[in-house]
Amino acid sequence: MIIGHIAAMSGETDPDARMSVPFARMNGLGNEIVVADLRGSKTRISPQAARALAGHEATRFDQIMAIHDPRLDGTDALIRIINRDGSEAEACGNGTRCVVQALGSENGQRDFTFETRAGIIIAHEADDGMITVDMGRPRFGWEDIPLAEEFRDTRAIELQIGPIDAPVLHSPSVASMGNPHAIFWVKNDVWSYDLERFGPVLEHHPIFPERANISIAQVTASDSLTLRTWERGVGLTLACGSAACAAAVSAARTGRTDRAVTVTVPGGDLLIHWREDDKVMMTGPATWMWSGRLDPATGDFVRDAQEEAEPA
C-alpha cells in the first residue's frame, strides 16, 4: 500500500495497519461494552489502550470484551474482560451477551462456550434475540470472595459505612460469581443512597483484598429486586450482570426472595434463575451500536462509515 510505504520510509508506523482490531461498540442493558475481535492474532489490548479508549467520549466503555482464539477443546473463544481502569475482571454477564450477539450475527450460531477467568461459560441466543448466559455456580466461602479475614457466615458480614451508631449501609451479603461482590440490603429506594460517594470507599476497603463490586439492593417482592452497582475498576454503571446474579443468589440464600427473580437495574430488567443444580442463568438483551477498528497498543481508533443504531 502506498501510504504504508511512505509511512515506512519516513519512519512512521502505517496508521491503517496499526488499526488492526475490528470492534463493535455495544450496549448490554446500559452496560457500555466494546467487543474487540482479536481472533487470529497474538496481540492483546494493552491496559494503556483500554484507558485511552475509556477516556474518549465515543468509545467510553465499562468493559472491553476481547475475543481471542480458543485455547481449550470444546470452546469457541477465550474472552478477556478489561475494566475501564485497565484491570482484568473474571466475569462480565452483560458483556458476554454482547459477545454472543456479535459472533452470532456472523453466521447465525446460537450456542457458544467461552473460556473466561471465571471458568467455562455457556450461552444461548433465543429466537426473540434474548440471550441467556449460564454464569456458573456462585461461591460463598470467605476465601473464595475473597475476604481478608475469616467469616463463617457470608450471608451478612460485619462491614458498615456511616456513623457507627447509625450506619447508612451495613451487613452486606458477599458472593463470588468468579468476581467479588458485596450486596447491601436497603429498605428505602436504592436511588436515595449516595453510592457514588460510598462506592469507591467500599470497593477499596481492606476487607476486600482484590477489591469488590459494590451493590445496593431493595427487595420489592418475592420474585423481584432493584439494584444499583458501583463496579470495581469502573464506577457507577447502568447495569452489572454478575452483580445481578450475586444479588439474586444472596437474596434467595437469605430467604428474601425465591430462586427466580427479575432484577431491575438502572438500564432495565434482567431475569436471574438460580437453578436447583446450582447454576445461575442470566437472561437479557444485547444491542449493537456501531463498529470500527482500533490499535491494541495505543487505543487509537477509526469508526467504520455507517449509521449508528438507535439505543435500545
Q: Where along the sequence are the contacts to ligand API (CB under 6 A)?
A: 31, 62-63, 83, 89, 91-95, 179, 213, 231-234, 240-242
Q: If we measure between CA atoms, which residue out of 282, 32, 256 comes closest to residue 136?
A: 282
CB-wise, 19 or 190, nearer to ligand API? 190
Residue in 45, 50, 67, 92 annotated catalytic: 92
23 vs 230, beta carbon nearer ligand API: 230
**C-beta separation of 287 from 37 below 8 A:** no
Tell the smallest beta-carbon distance from residue 62 to ligand API (Å).
5
According to the annotation, is 63 in a ligand binding site?
A: yes
53, 292 contact by CB (below 8 A): no
Query: CB 85 → ligand API: shortest distance, Å?
Result: 9
19 vs 173 by CB, closer to ligand API: 173
Residues 6+ apart with CB under 8 A from 135: 91, 93, 118, 121, 177, 178, 241, 242, 245, 279, 280, 281, 282
Is 240 among the residues known to form the active site? yes
Catalytic residue of the set 98, 100, 240, 251: 240
State yes or no: 242 annotated in a binding site. yes
In angstroms, give the least distance from the CB of 300 to ligand API. 25
Q: Which helix (H) or strand (E) holds 308?
A: none
CB of 272 to ligand API, least distance (A): 12
Cα–Cα distances (Å) from 241 to 63, 68, 89, 142, 303, in that order, read: 12, 22, 13, 22, 28
Using alpha carbons only, give the angle 295, 298, 299 rounded to the nearest 5 degrees.
Answer: 60
Active site residue 98: no
Least CB distance to ligand API at residue 228 (A): 13
Q: Does 119 carry a binding-site annotation?
A: no
Question: In sequence order, what are the residues at sequence separation of 6 or more whose Cβ sits closer than 8 angstroms to the Cβ of residue 281?
Answer: 132, 133, 134, 135, 272, 273, 274, 275
Which lies closer to ligand API via its Cβ, residue 19 or residue 212? 212
CB-CB neighbours of 44 under 10 Å:
15
To the question of whether residue 83 is assigned a binding role by annotation, the answer is yes
Residues 6+ apart with CB under 8 A from 51: 84, 85, 86, 299
93 among the known binding-site residues? yes
Residue matched to cell numbers 443444580:
277
Q: 82 or 169: whose CB is closer to ligand API?
A: 82
Q: Which residues are catalytic?
A: 92, 240
Annotated binding site: 31, 63, 83, 93-94, 179, 213, 231-232, 241-242
Annotated binding site for substrate: 31, 63, 83, 93-94, 179, 213, 231-232, 241-242
